[in-house]
Structure 1
Amino acid sequence: MIKAVFFDFDGTILSHSTMSVPHSAKKALRSLQKQGILVIVATGRHITEIEEFDFCHEFTFDAYITLNGQYCFNQNETIYSNPVPKEDVLAILDHIQEDPYPCVFVEKDRQYMNFYTDWVRLEYQKLGTSLPALEDIQRAACHDIYQLSPYLNHQQEQVLFARTKNIKIDRWTDYVIDVLPKIGGKDTGIQKTLDYYGLKKEETMAFGDAFNDIPMFKETGISVAMGNAKPEVKQIADHVTDDIDQDGLYQALRHFQLIK
């Protein structure tokens, strides 16, 4: 019996063609909750970005796995917290000082960066959310940082990686990467969330479309790839549904008889 369903946000709940949540997806998520099934978002986004979309003012998820699993919480408390090691944050600050490039620093309740470029503006336009505030990034030296997003090329990435010890890097475009703790990811966030709610793997399902959803699929009982998912994601999924803009989320939940 499925007791919790984990959903990626971009390309799974949120359509990038309309920058909105399809009506069928809204109906499906509400139907799950009415039946007592936990509806949990698992995303690389910060909570402030999620809250910019109207749907998130109409609907409250039962739990939030944000920043690719580094900060997990519900309406009552923090479930799991895994900041980037401080020595690695300091190493990145030093690297930026020597070879300046834009970088987003993400704390629990805020995100900020040092300067904008055309590439930064373009990426945030694609995301459909506001640019982070411009602040003195040296505040990162004395605050917990859960994720960094440097805008740098592959050569700069190699230098950054060589200077750090306990991070991993996910490149999501030619211009920007995500920097996370070496031990962490959506899979870790899901493990901690399952422990918190006392759930077993076989009582869960996950929906996704991107490479960072693959670890999530491995930690849940049933995995569903959206029709707009990457081929590698579809290959390992238990089920492939339609595109997000073709009611894929709703159709898959009906296929597994979780909703009518």
Structure 2
Amino acid sequence: MAIKLIALDMDGTLLKSDETVSEFTREKIAKALARNVHVVLSTGRWLGTCYPYAESLNLTSFLITSNGGEVWTVDKELRERHLLDPERIKLIWGLAKDMGLITWMVSTDKVWFNEQPDDFSAYEWLKIGCQSFDQNKLDAIVKELSHYDDLELTNSLPTNIEVNPKGVSKASALQSVCKEIGITMENVMAAGDSLNDIKMIQESGIGVAMGNAQEAIKKVADHITATNDQDGVGKAIEKFVL
């Protein structure tokens, strides 16, 4: 089926290591847009650090942020929001702190790096993440969190764990976007590099793993493109869309 929507992870995928978009990839995105193909950023980032890229690329469709925790239009109209219980966030933050992990928490209006609010219940929470180069620590917190059936566990790097509400993923958000547009997941090409991309890559008509992707992503993808520093996204768009 024809590709009518391109879903792009950002870090490690659309963005080079210096967090810029290459001119080659910009050109291919512009050509796809000119053919009325939707280009959707599908990222673990929150809206504040995602939106400037959408503006610079002249995107006209939707934005999937916080691993599917929110779906926005490019006009900043909120279409979906999925929240974690504040008490659950507090529990996870406490576990991570006790294990000596670096943490970040994403509320609807702020990102908290290695800090906590005075009152967790005063905020609406989208996501929490923790990081360590000690795999044993990551394994330990995954084991602890696996006892809670209201959580969705994933990662955006091999050195971290990210937590969303159960059932929330980039894939579930993409399904909502497809329904709104009037297409199916068969009309989607999705590209990514980490576990938070795996479901959208599996469920899309064409799933693309970056050359720098985690091995699990490469195993389920339909195609492996070049790395994020070698125009991998632009080359995939050229191959499957243009």
TM-score norm. by structure 1 comes to 0.78
Task: Give the structure 1 partner of residue 85 of structure 2.
Answer: 85
Q: Are 1:33 and 2:33 an aligned pair?
A: yes
Task: Give the structure 2 partner of residue 66 of structure 1.
Answer: 65
Task: Give the structure 2 partner of residue 24 of structure 1.
Answer: 24
Pick from 151, 162, 170: which aligns with 1:167?
151
Q: Distance in 1 between the 2:131 and 2:22 partners?
A: 31
Compute the RMSD of aligned alpha carbons.
2.8
Pick from 202, 208, 215: which aligns with 1:218?
202
Aligned amino acid, residue 11 of structure 1: G
Q: 1:27 to 1:84 in 2, by over 3 A?
A: same
Q: Are 1:196 and 2:180 an aligned pair?
A: yes
Residue 190 of structure 1 contacts residue 219 of structure 1 at CA under 8 Å; is this kept in 2?
no
Task: Give the structure 2 partner of residue 142 of structure 1.
Answer: 122
Task: Give the structure 2 partner of residue 254 of structure 1.
Answer: 238
Shift of 1:68: 0.8
Shift of 1:148: 0.9
Shift of 1:215: 0.3
| SS of alignment partner, residue 83 of structure 1 | coil
Shift of 1:74: 0.8
Q: Distance in 2 between the 1:224 and 1:151 partners?
A: 26
Q: Where do 5+ consecutive residues of structure 1 fail to align?
A: 116-135
Shift of 1:3: 1.4
Task: Give the structure 2 partner of residue 184 of structure 1.
Answer: 168
Q: 1:161 to 1:251 in 2, by over 3 A?
A: closer
Residue 44 of structure 1 contacts residue 68 of structure 1 at CA under 8 Å; is this kept in 2?
yes
Residue 8 of structure 2 contacts residue 192 of structure 2 at CA under 8 Å; is this kept in 1?
yes
Alignment of 1:41-60 (within 5 A): 41-51=41-51, 55-60=53-58
Task: Give the structure 2 partner of residue 244 of structure 1.
Answer: 228
Q: 1:227 to 1:100 in 2, by over 3 A?
A: closer
Q: Distance in 1 between the 2:214 and 2:170 partners?
A: 17
Describe the superposition over 1:46-92 as per-residue Cα deviations: whole angstroms up to 9, x where unpaired. 1222356xx54422432111111111111342222111134423433
Q: 1:202 to 1:229 in 2, by over 3 A?
A: same
Computing the radius of gyration over CA atoms, which structure comes out larger, 1 or 2? 1
Q: Distance in 2 between the 1:149 and 1:40 partners?
A: 23
The percentage of aligned residue pairs carrying the same residue is 25
Q: Distance in 1 between the 2:41 and 2:159 partners?
A: 26
Q: 1:109 to 1:199 in 2, by over 3 A?
A: farther
| SS of alignment partner, residue 250 of structure 1 | helix
Number of residue pairs matched by the alignment:
235
Q: Are 1:235 and 2:219 an aligned pair?
A: yes
Residue 105 of structure 1 contacts residue 137 of structure 1 at CA under 8 Å; is this kept in 2?
no
| SS of alignment partner, residue 31 of structure 2 | helix
Shift of 1:211: 2.3
Judge which range, 100-109 or 139-148, deviates more: 100-109
Q: Where do 5+ consecutive residues of structure 2 fail to align?
A: none
| SS of alignment partner, residue 146 of structure 1 | strand
Q: 1:255 to 1:93 in 2, by over 3 A?
A: closer
TM-score norm. by structure 2 comes to 0.83
| SS of alignment partner, residue 14 of structure 1 | coil
